[in-house]
Amino acid sequence: MTIALTGCTKAPQTKSLDLTKPSDNVSAGEDFYLYVNQNWMNEHPLTGEYARFGNFDLLRDTAQERVRQLVLDVAKSNPEEGTVAYKVATVFNLAMDSTRRNAEGANPIRADLNRIEATPADSMTELFMWMHGNFASPFFGAGPMEDFSNSNEYAMYISGGGMGLGDRDYYLGNDERNTTVREAYKALIVEQMKNAGYSADDAARIMANVMKIETALAEKAWTKEQSRNIPAMNNPRTLAQLEQMYPEMNWKRFFPETMGIEAPANVIVTEIEPVKRGMELMAKSSMREIKDYYLWKYVSGASSYLSDDFTNANFEFSKIVSGVTEQKPRWKRALAATEGTLGEAIGELYVEKYFPASSKEYMVNLVENLREALGQHIDNLTWMSDSTKANAREKLAAFTVKIGYPDTWKDYSTMAIDPKLSYYENMHNASMWHQKDLYSKWGKPVDKTEWGMTPQTVNAYYNPMANEIVFPAAILQAPFFDPEATDAENYGGIGVVIGHEMTHGFDDQGRNFDKDGNLTNWWTEEDANAFEELTRGLVAQFDAVEVLPGLHANGTYTLGENIADQGGLRVAMTAFINSQNLKGIDINSEEAKVQGFSPAQLFYMNYANLWAQNIRDEEIRSLTTNDVHSLGNLRVNVSLRNLAPFFEAFGIKEGDAMWRPEAERVIIW
């Protein structure tokens, strides 16, 4: 199946790419990322509110401005009380009303803080249930998700957690970066507890007790690298076994009181030792330590919806972590809160105005082109046996494709939004509505028509437990997709994105799931070993890159995304060649050039253009620590240095910095 993405008879012109912009002083063979993007970077210096800013952000800004206007139009329409439009307008207006929030200060949370403080020793179990069911997940996490072994049903998962900083290294590492973030976190706790009405001495005590508990949790928490081992997370246990493993918790009370469901007969414990540490801390910590930990969990969760004192303190912390110097405008923060609360309601308006049916039709056909190309790659693999290839082909054929928006929109009619209540109370009630919506699925078949992103989100994803690839409407814009752009731009843009998401089905995590989304080993032992040997080579390529003095990329943590980037590039190029062959076009020929560049060159240039950005050193450190994606320049330069068609397109040869000898190249999919 193929589709012509351009239909005009005049001389073709690039739409997404400005071909007057390649660098004058950096060649394609020296640094391809800078060659394509240096002038863009010079023309888009960072402003104070951004830790990084790139083409993705430009696209997000476009989508955000569209959403802003949609929300403002809804607010101006004087919607009837109780309607979804009324709820959208009310949440946005409450978020914008800083005068009211500043006057209220900490009053919206004071009664709950007093409840925590006043709880007697014989009611600490009830306090834990109340906290876990309503405000946070202290000590450990729990909730339903698709069953690893049967993705058509929900399983109950118990997992480690409870750390405000998320990553264990922030608590345990003593290098300059981790120490700086840790000290900033301590300062944040003190400042926010003072904002909540506590004295400086009490705030300091709360901080010390929080750090004591969270550091103890970090000592047993999994590393980032361990968190990529999906099979190691599949630890099914009966309720009786759970009670034996963790006798500190009354599990027959926990599930009814925190989730409103009967205690399940079986659970899956994803991280056995981290959960054990959480239980030990609950049992052995003093009542004062536990209460202080709860106070912080509560205040931390509420702070974004309170007065400027609270939000400003959060921003001061984010300055340390990301390097930003200017807080996002209030309307952007208000819009994010509104979308987080009523995202699909806004998405329905977005799709109606900004997503034509023709775009969906283009995408449906383009996806099939990419599916066919990935099938060709699977067939041609030299390191995989025929039996595993057959299973891979079966999985590829079973991919579900979701484009633009869900077939059925979420029903928000039962969500209560009341302008007489504070912003925080409304946001908490909305959060409880979403939580109840999740728990209501327990005992029912998994609804595989649901979406994990709203249509106005500039992103895409692969869900291994549904074996689905999903492309929201907002990503279907230039430089990713434009029906008026050249084929080269579209295949190098949205084509690579499609190939990327497809390849996630076969990356180090996705490969563990079968065509039905179940955790199943469909590989021969020899093929699995060959795959792992190839991935070690890719890990080493990224590990070797020093992103800042003394800081190297983490090839293990970013492995899945790096596999998908390379796979996306290779599969999209094959699909592009297939489409051009049907037109009789040689993508490397002089005759096919557009404004002096061959279609093959335009393909790779538009891919590099996707990742154009400026970024602060603090954000580089933060992303290298916390993000499963490699930095933008590495997604271009390291990935492309494995691809012979890229070398051919730009005449890159031995001696050029972008060259990688054939023996050192890693090709997986």
Q: What DSSP line would sit under 609-633, residue for residue?
A: HHT-EEE-HHHHHHHHHH-SSPPHH
Nearest to 619 by CA among 58, 41, 54: 54
Reported as a single tens digit per residue, the pLDDT across 256-283 is 999 999 999 999 999 999 999 999 999 9
Question: Would the pLDDT of 100 be above 80?
Answer: yes
Dihedral of alpha carbons 532, 538, 542, 543, sign: positive
pLDDT at 9: 35
Place of tokens 């401005």: 65
pLDDT at 8: 32
Q: Read off the pLDDT of each residue in 315-329 and give the average, rounded to a whole number.
A: 95
DSSP state of 473: G
Question: Would the pLDDT of 349 be above 50?
Answer: yes
H-helix segments, 119-175: 124-134, 169-172
Residue 414 amino acid letter: T
- In angstroms, rounded to a whole number, what is the distance separating the alpha carbons of residues 646 and 644? 5
pLDDT at 498: 96
User: What's the length of the chain?
Assistant: 669
Nearest to 611 by CA among 45, 53, 12, 114: 53
For 335, the token pair is 């819009």
pLDDT band at 10 (very low <50, low <70, confident <90, very high): very low
Reported as a single tens digit per residue, the pLDDT across 479-488 is 899 888 899 9
Nearest to 156 by CA among 86, 251, 85, 82: 251
Question: Would the pLDDT of 5 be above 80?
Answer: no
- In angstroms, rounded to a whole number, what is the distance separating the alpha carbons of residues 346 and 456? 8
For 418, the token pair is 């009341």
Query: What share of the chain has pLDDT > 70, as a percent?
Result: 98
Reported as a single tens digit per residue, the pLDDT across 544-589 is 999 999 999 999 999 999 999 999 999 999 999 999 999 999 999 9
Q: What are phi and psi of 53, to 5 degrees?
A: -145, 125
Question: Would the pLDDT of 184 be above 50?
Answer: yes
pLDDT band at 422 (very low <50, low <70, confident <90, very high): very high
Question: Would the pLDDT of 247 be above 50?
Answer: yes
Reported as a single tens digit per residue, the pLDDT across 27-51 is 999 999 999 999 999 999 999 999 9
Place of tokens 């271009």: 636
| Residues 613/42, Cβ–Cβ less than 8 Å | no
Reported as a single tens digit per residue, the pLDDT across 601-657 is 999 999 999 999 999 999 999 999 999 999 999 999 999 999 999 999 999 999 999
- Domains annotated for the chain, with CATH where assigned, are 106-305 (1.10.1380.10), 355-405+455-664 (3.40.390.10)
pLDDT band at 13 (very low <50, low <70, confident <90, very high): low
Question: Would the pLDDT of 478 be above 50?
Answer: yes
Residue 654 amino acid letter: E
Q: Say whether the peptide bond before residue 479 is cis (omega within 30 degrees of 0).
A: yes
Burial 229-254 (b: 16+ CB within 10 A, else e): ebeebbbebebeebeebbeebebeeb
Reported as a single tens digit per residue, the pLDDT across 366-375 is 999 999 999 9
For 430, the token pair is 């909305």
| Residues 563/535, Cβ–Cβ less than 8 Å | yes
Helix/strand/coil (H, E, C) string of 215-246? HHHHHHCCCCCHHHCHHHHCCEEEHHHHHHHC
β-pairing, 461-463 vs 400-404, is: unpaired
| Residues 613/41, Cβ–Cβ less than 8 Å | yes
Q: Read off the pLDDT of each residue in 226-241 and give the average, rounded to a whole number.
A: 96
DSSP string spanning 236-303? EEEHHHHHHH-TTS-HHHHHHHHHSSPPPSEEEES-HHHHHHHHHHHHHS-HHHHHHHHHHHHHHHHG
Work out the mean pLDDT of the chain and round it to a whole number.
Answer: 95
What's the half-sphere exposure (Cβ side, CA atoms, 13 Å) at 270? 22
pLDDT at 638: 98
Nearest to 518 by CA among 181, 150, 255, 138: 150
The predicted model scores a pTM of 0.92
| Residues 363/403, Cβ–Cβ less than 8 Å | yes
Q: How far is CA 98 from CA 49, 331, 335, 338, 403, in A?
A: 19, 11, 14, 15, 38
Place of tokens 């004087």: 78
Reported as a single tens digit per residue, the pLDDT across 106-154 is 999 999 999 999 999 999 999 999 999 998 899 999 999 999 999 999 9
